[in-house]
Amino acid sequence: MKRLSGPALLLFIGIAFLCPAWAEESHKSGTLSFVLENDLFYNVDRHYTNGVRLIWVPGRDASTPEWAMKIAQLVPCFPEQGEIRYGYAIGQSMFTPSDINLTDPPSRERPYAGWLYATIGLGVESGRQLDQFGVTFGMVGPASLAEESQKFIHKVIAADEPQGWDTQLHNEPGLVLTYQRSWRGLATSTPFGARLDFTPHIGAALGNVFTYGTTAVTMRYGRRLPNDYGPPRVQPGLPGSGDFSPVSDFGWYLFAGVEGRAVAHNIFLDGNTFRDSRSVDKKPFVFDLQFGLVMDWPSVRLSYTHVMRTREFRTQESNDDFGAIAVSVKF
pLDDT tens sequence across 132-174: 999 999 999 999 999 999 999 989 888 889 999 999 999 999 9
Q: Which pLDDT does position 27 carry in this prediction? A: 53
**316 secondary structure, DSSP code:** -
Largest CA distance in the chain: 59
Comparing CA positions, the residue from 22, 1, 9, 2 lying closest to residue 292 is: 9
Rg (CA), the chain: 20
- Over residues 60-79, the mean pLDDT reads 80
Rounded to whole angstroms, the Cα distance separating 49 from 288 reads 16
Q: Which pLDDT does position 28 carry in this prediction? A: 63
- Over residues 92-111, the mean pLDDT reads 95
> Where do the domains of the chain lie?
5-330
Q: Exposure string (b/e) for 31-61, b if CB count within 10 Å is 16 or more?
A: bebebbbbbbbbebbbbbbbbbbebbbbeee
Comparing CA positions, the residue from 136, 135, 94, 132 lying closest to residue 111 is: 94
pTM: 0.87
Q: Which residues contact 294 (CB under 8 A, 6 or more apart)?
A: 222, 230, 231, 252, 253, 254, 255, 301, 302, 303
CATH of domain 5-330: 2.40.128.140
pLDDT greater than 80 at residue 8: no
What percent of the chain has pLDDT above 70?
Answer: 89
Comparing CA positions, the residue from 78, 86, 149 lying closest to residue 112 is: 149
Q: Which amino acid is at 173?
A: P
Q: Which pLDDT does position 189 carry in this prediction? A: 67
Q: Which pLDDT does position 241 carry in this prediction? A: 77
Comparing CA positions, the residue from 36, 34, 32 lying closest to residue 8 is: 36
Q: Which pLDDT does position 18 carry in this prediction? A: 45
